Amino acid sequence: MRFHPPLEEGRLIRRYKRFLTDIETVTGELLTIHCPNTGSMLNCMVEGGQVWFSRSSDPKRKLPGTWEIAETPQGRLACVNTARANQLVEEALLAGVITELKGFTALKREVPYGQEKSRIDFRLDYPQGAAFVEVKSVTLGFDGTSVAAFPDAVTQRGAKHLRELAHLAREGVRAVQLYCVCLSGVDAVRPAVEIDAGYAAALREAKAAGVEVLAYGVRVTPQEMYVEHRLKVLLGD
C-alpha cells in the first residue's frame, strides 16, 4: 500500500475525545484532524512526537485530515489508523504473502456469521471448505522488548469474536485469528494479560478449541506499508 497523495508530516499536540487530534504541520499550520482509533493507544504516541496524516480533498468533510502514523515513545512507527489493517491483510492475501491462507478461490468481506450475530472480516473459500479469518490491528509495544501485545484496552468485542471462532472450530470449520502488527521493531506478539485477562483467557480457549492463531508484521513507513513476514505468537502456555 502506497500513500497517494503522500502523507504530510507534523507534530502531535494532543489527542482528545477519542476521535480528535490537534497537530502542528511542518509549515506551522495548526489543524484538528480525525483519529481513527477507538483504543487507548497506550505507548503509541507522545506529545511533541512526529505524526503523519492524510489530507482530505472532500469539501463536505468536517475535519481536514486523518492521522495515519505515529512516532511512539520508544521511537518506533505505529500505524494508528486501525482500518488499514484489513486493507493490508487483503492485499497480502491476494498476493499470497500469508502462506498459511494461500489457495483460496474466493474472498468475501464482512460476512455475517456466528451465534452472537457477528461479522467476520474475511471468509475465504477453498475447494475443501471455507475459512473464517478475524483480523486485529496491533500497535502496543513496551520499552526494552520487541514483543507487541493486544489489546491496549479491555475489549469485550474481541473476546466475543474469539468465542465465535472457537464455536466454528469445534464444528469442524477452519477458523483463524490473525494479528496484523502495525508497529515497527517487533518480532513477536502476545495477549496483554495485564490489560485484559479475560481476552487472554478467551484466546487460550480458542486455540485449545482448534482456532489457528497467526501474526504477521507490517513494514511501516510514511511512504508505504505492507505485510512483510510472519511473527511468533506467545501465549504463555
Going by C-beta distance under 8 Å and a sequence separation of 6 or more, which residues neighbour residue 112?
118, 119
Quote the distance between the C-alpha of residue 56 and its chain's center. 22
Could you give the 3-state DSSP secondary structure of residue 213? strand
The pLDDT tens digits for 89-138 are 999 999 999 999 999 999 999 999 999 999 999 999 999 999 999 999 99
Domain spans of the chain?
Answer: 8-75, 83-233
Q: Do 157 and 163 contact (CB within 8 A), yes or no?
A: no
CATH topology of domain 8-75: OB fold (Dihydrolipoamide Acetyltransferase, E2P) (2.40.50)
Arithmetic mean of pLDDT, 174-200: 97
Going by C-beta distance under 8 Å and a sequence separation of 6 or more, which residues neighbour residue 130?
123, 124, 173, 174
- Say which amino acid occupies 123: R
pTM of the model: 0.96
Q: Does domain 83-233 have CATH number 3.30.450.20?
A: no
Q: How confident is the model at residue 155 (pLDDT cuts 50, 70, 90)?
A: very high
83-233 and 8-75 share a CATH fold: no
The pLDDT tens digits for 68-91 are 999 999 999 999 999 999 999 999
What was the pLDDT predicted at 144? 83
What was the pLDDT predicted at 62? 93
